[in-house]
Amino acid sequence: MMALNRHRLKHLVRMNVRGARTTQGLLQRTEELLSTILVGNNVINTVVPVLTTSIALRYFGNDALTLSIATAIIALLIIVFAEIGPKIVGARFPERIALPAAFILRPLLRVSTPIVWVLNTLVRGLLRILRIDTREGAAEPRMTTEELRTIVLEAGNYMPTKPRSVLLNLLDLENIAVDDVMVPRSRIEALDISAPLESILQQLETCYHNKLPVYDGDIDRIVGILPVRRTLSALRHPDELTVDTLRALLVDPYFIPSDTPALRQLQYFQENHRRVGLVVNEYGEVEGLLTTEDIIEELIGEFTTSVPGAGGSRSGWTAEGDCLVSGAVTLRDLNRRLGLHLSTDGPKTLNGLVLETLREIPEASVSLEIDGCRMEVVQIDNQAIKTVRLFRPVSPKSANAHR
């Protein structure tokens, strides 16, 4: 009864499995159930040796040898067939035994109610003297996120890989801030409303996204979000298109504090009917851009079309065990796609991680190892690392095999 999985039992109750509801009702009265089982168990274990010893003395003589042999035999039988054996079987197959046994235990519980009440009253009084609180819910443990994560991990044999991965990502989403999944400032495709009209039209004709942040001279001066589809009709008549026309099409920008949890922000997107937001720091400076797709991809993996110049690691490891990636790629993306374990507590991108480790901007190619992954700086551009070659970490088993 105690080895039953309570969550599994609730599922059996919903499925109307015979005996499940009775078992659940008994487990809701844990004190009475345990008292009934223990009283019955101890009475039987006490009566059986007395009866057996009396029978042995009557038929085999009243001497010390007979008493010793009878005591040893009955003790062995009780330990093997009444204690260890049944408990092992019960712990191994709790549902098969507990559900049928519930129909026997329920009437026993009713019959033994007066005795159980007296015994429980005495026990509660003793525990109260010892200052042990046994009130319902006083010591009831709550399941933490890490415990729930462990349950999901251990359910690998009963749950398909993809749903299990989604559940684990959902649990991790509570510990992820928006600046972990946003598009960094340097990779935001934005429109400068103060630029020449010809340049604006060319950018609109070749832009990749449907919604573009629009700024006036400096990206920290965001004036709105431009739905590119609204400009299609205006692009058919470029002679009539003006900056004022574009300003009239702008939607008010939506700003997100950089430390907002990703899961909470997903709820905010839903409540405010938004899909795009600009992540800003405590000084109001734009740090990045966040969409609902960025958060959802943390749950189910990437499903949208690759963005040109995103610098991801979509090709994976080559046959030689290396991979060429952009320095702007996020560490979370690298860990997820290449199976690495790079720390995400500090910098969010590979460029930031390498610069933090070297504590300087390298002037030429340099090799280093971070968190067990060897890497080589291949290309540097504008005080930032543009391209890095990663080498697949060698597991201890593989290393021993090569030796």
CA–CA separation, 375 vs 323, rounded Å? 9
Q: What does the pLDDT average to over 176-187?
A: 85
If one compares 380 and 140, the residue with the highest pLDDT of the two is 380
pLDDT of residue 303: 62
Q: What does the pLDDT average to over 2-27?
A: 87
Residue-wise pLDDT tens digits, 247-263: 888 999 999 998 898 88
Residue 399 has pLDDT above 70, yes or no: no
- Say if CB 225 and CB 211 are below 8 A apart: yes
Whether 339 and 286 share a structural domain: no
- Is residue 356, in this structure, part of any structural domain at all? yes
- Say if CB 110 and CB 85 are below 8 A apart: no
- Is residue 144, in this structure, part of any structural domain at all? no
CA–CA separation, 125 vs 131, rounded Å? 10
Dihedral-angle region of residue 63 (phi above 0 means left; psi in -120 to 50 means alpha; beta otherwise): beta
- 137 contact partners, CB below 8 Å, separation of at least 6: none
Q: What does the pLDDT average to over 136-148?
A: 64
Q: Mean pLDDT of all residues in the chain?
A: 83
β pairing state of 276-280 and 255-257: parallel
Whether 98 and 56 share a structural domain: yes
Whether 365 and 277 share a structural domain: no
- Is residue 197, in this structure, part of any structural domain at all? yes
- Is residue 397, in this structure, part of any structural domain at all? yes
- Say if CB 106 and CB 26 are below 8 A apart: yes
- Say if CB 218 and CB 193 are below 8 A apart: no
CA–CA separation, 221 vs 213, rounded Å? 10
Whether 267 and 356 share a structural domain: no
Instruction: Say which range, 137-146, 192-201, 282-291, has the weakest mean pLDDT.
Output: 137-146
Give residue 339's identity as a one-letter amino acid code.
Answer: G
Please state, for a pLDDT cut of 70, what percent of the chain lies above it: 89
Specify the residue for token string 């991979």: 323
Burial class (CB in 10 A: 0-12, 13-18, 19+), 299: middle
Residue-wise pLDDT tens digits, 35-51: 888 888 888 888 888 88
- Which residues are paired to 390 by β-bridges? 323, 375
Whether 209 and 123 share a structural domain: no
Whether 231 and 274 share a structural domain: yes
Tally the domains of the chain: 3
Whether 272 and 183 share a structural domain: yes
- Say if CB 190 and CB 209 are below 8 A apart: no
If one compares 76 and 143, the residue with the highest pLDDT of the two is 76
Q: Which residues form the domain of 363?
A: 322-402
CA–CA separation, 115 vs 195, rounded Å? 90
pTM (2 d.p.): 0.60
R_g of the chain computed on alpha carbons? 35
Whether 274 and 333 share a structural domain: no
Instruction: Say which range, 109-118, 134-143, 155-164, 280-289, has the weakest mean pLDDT.
Output: 134-143
Residue-wise pLDDT tens digits, 218-227: 999 999 999 8
Whether 326 and 279 share a structural domain: no
pLDDT of residue 42: 86
Q: What does the pLDDT average to over 70-99?
A: 88
- Is residue 204, in this structure, part of any structural domain at all? yes
Whether 119 and 19 share a structural domain: yes
Residue 309 has pLDDT above 60, yes or no: no
Cα–chain center distance at 273: 26
- 157 contact partners, CB below 8 Å, separation of at least 6: none
DSSP letter at 177 equals B
- Is residue 167, in this structure, part of any structural domain at all? no
Specify the residue for token string 């010591």: 139
Q: What does the pLDDT average to over 348-358?
A: 88
Token readout for 168 is 């684990």
CA–CA separation, 126 vs 40, rounded Å? 22
Whether 290 and 366 share a structural domain: no
CATH number of the domain residue 231 falls in:
3.10.580.10
CATH number of the domain residue 359 falls in:
3.30.465.10
